[in-house]
Amino acid sequence: MLSKTKAKNISTAIAHPFAVLFIKLRISADVITFIGTLGVCLTSVIYFSRGQFLIGSLLFTFFVGFDALDGTMARMLNKKSKWGAFFDSVMDRIADGVVLASISYYFLIQQENLLFIVSLVALISSEIVSYTKARAEGFSHQILSRTADPQNPGKTLMDRQFSMVKKASIKSKDEVIASRKTT
């Protein structure tokens, strides 16, 4: 089985010469991201929606390669940025949606009701995961303090809740002691 590190090294080795070419042509990583997304979307609409999965899969694989290429270019130029990561993520979600919508459309037209429902559930689920992650990160920024552990926000929330309970129990204990002194 191919490890994640080996797969990344192979991907980088393949992407590197193309990255050098596009850098020499002064094409930005964002443009490469957009071209890859556009290619995936057009391939999906033209081929997957018609059930032409072989040619569609070949073209899809080609355009998905652009996803590795944009990151390689950004690293080579030392221009990794939050914007680039955000843009890449948004384009990936758009591509995911169009691919699954095209496949869903094909199954709908073919009156393959079960496969239509399964592909529709896959479409909705893929978008919900992204939304849920983004929303949870938004809540984390609102709820957690600056000292929060970003790798484990649940632990930070538990620590805060424990701290609040502890403070409340100390306050209650102090109130009990104070009330005993007055009586």
The reply to whether 77 and 130 lie within a common domain is: yes
The reply to whether 66 and 120 lie within a common domain is: yes
Q: What residue numbers bound the domain in which 152 lies?
A: 147-183
Which residue's entry shows tokens 């009701």? 113
Instruction: Calculate what percentage of the chain has a pLDDT beyond 90.
Output: 39
The reply to whether 118 and 153 lie within a common domain is: no
Q: What is the mean pLDDT of residues 138-155?
A: 52
The reply to whether 133 and 155 lie within a common domain is: no
Per-residue pLDDT, 165: 45
Per-residue pLDDT, 173: 52
The reply to whether 158 and 105 lie within a common domain is: no
Q: Which band of pLDDT confidence, cut at 50, 70 and 90, is reported for residue 177?
A: low
The reply to whether 109 and 151 lie within a common domain is: no
The reply to whether 92 and 33 lie within a common domain is: yes
- Tell me, what amino acid is at 36? G
H/E element, 174: helix 153-182
- Tell me, what amino acid is at 61? T
Residues 30-87: pLDDT tens digits?
A: 999 999 999 999 999 999 999 999 999 999 999 998 888 888 898 888 888 888 888 9
Q: Which long-range contacts (CB under 8 A, 24 or more apart) does 9-13 make?
A: 11/68, 12/68, 12/72
Q: Sign of dihedral through CA atoms 114, 117, 119, 121?
A: negative
CA distance linking residue 129 with residue 1, whole number of Å:
27
The reply to whether 132 and 72 lie within a common domain is: yes
Q: What is the mean pLDDT of residues 144-166?
A: 48
Q: Quick check: 105 pLDDT over 80?
A: yes
- Side-chain half-sphere of 140: how many Cα atoms within 13 Å? 16
What's the structural domain count of the chain? 2
CATH number of the domain that residue 34 is part of: 1.20.120.1760
Q: How would DSSP label each residue in the chain?
A: ---HHHHHHHHHHHHHHHHHHHHHTT--HHHHHHHHHHHHHHHHHHTGGGT-HHHHHHHHHHHHHHHHHHHHHHHHTT---HHHHHHHHHHHHHHHHHHHHHHHHHHHHTT-HHHHHHHHHHHHHHHHHHHHHHHHHHHHHHHS-TT--TT-HHHHHHHHHHHHHHHHHHHHHHHHHHHHHH-
The reply to whether 153 and 178 lie within a common domain is: yes
Q: Which long-range contacts (CB under 8 A, 24 or more apart) does 156-161 make?
A: none
Annotation says 92 is catalytic:
yes
The reply to whether 117 and 182 lie within a common domain is: no
The reply to whether 95 and 15 lie within a common domain is: yes
Q: Which band of pLDDT confidence, cut at 50, 70 and 90, is reported for residue 138?
A: low
Q: Pick the catalytic residue: 88, 92, 149, 159?
A: 92
In this structure, of 7-11, 50-54, 109-113, the range with the lowest mean pLDDT score is 7-11
Q: Quick check: 23 pLDDT over 60?
A: yes
Q: Quick check: 7 pLDDT over 60?
A: yes
The reply to whether 109 and 178 lie within a common domain is: no
